[in-house]
């Protein structure tokens, strides 16, 4: 398992809640500002490979950025989609966390327990 990568935007409420949860559990993570250090095409491919619903899982479809698009993202090739997201990172849902094997998008405490070693502690407490 790789180090936990936390793609975030500090003023995002879900990102702040997720970061608070991670810190309260003592989870070590590598934080990356989504807009200053936009994920590379390779990083985005790795993220997409871990999704269950493809691009729908990582796209912020309710965002102004998405609503202002004059294109149907479903019609884009993978490379076109990757280039679009790199150019407009606000199209990504936030936060995105991955350990290389699993993916959590948005604030999801159950998902966070599953992606961190805190799952065992949580399971032991409820047993």
Residues identified as active-site: 12
Give which of 42, 32, 38 is closest to 8, Cα–Cα. Answer: 32
Residues in the chain: 127
User: Is the Cβ–Cβ distance between 100 and 92 less than 8 Å?
Assistant: no
User: Tokens 């699993």 label which residue?
Assistant: 102
Query: How far is the C-alpha of 86 from the C-alpha of 74, rounded, in Å?
Result: 17
């Amino acid at each position: 398992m790789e180090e936990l990568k936390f793609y975030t935007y500090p003023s995002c409420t879900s990102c702040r809640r997720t970061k608070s949860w991670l810190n309260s559990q003592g989870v070590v993570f590598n934080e990356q500002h989504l807009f200053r250090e936009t994920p590379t095409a390779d990083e985005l491919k790795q993220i997409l490979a871990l999704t269950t619903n493809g691009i729908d899982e990582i796209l912020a479809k309710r965002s102004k950025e998405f609503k202002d698009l004059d294109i149907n993202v479903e019609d884009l090739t993978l490379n076109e989609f990757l280039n679009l997201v790199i150019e407009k990172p606000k199209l990504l849902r936030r936060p995105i966390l991955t350990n290389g094997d699993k993916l959590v998008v948005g604030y999801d405490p159950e998902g966070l327990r599953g992606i961190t070693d805190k799952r065992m502690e949580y399971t032991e407490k409820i047993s």
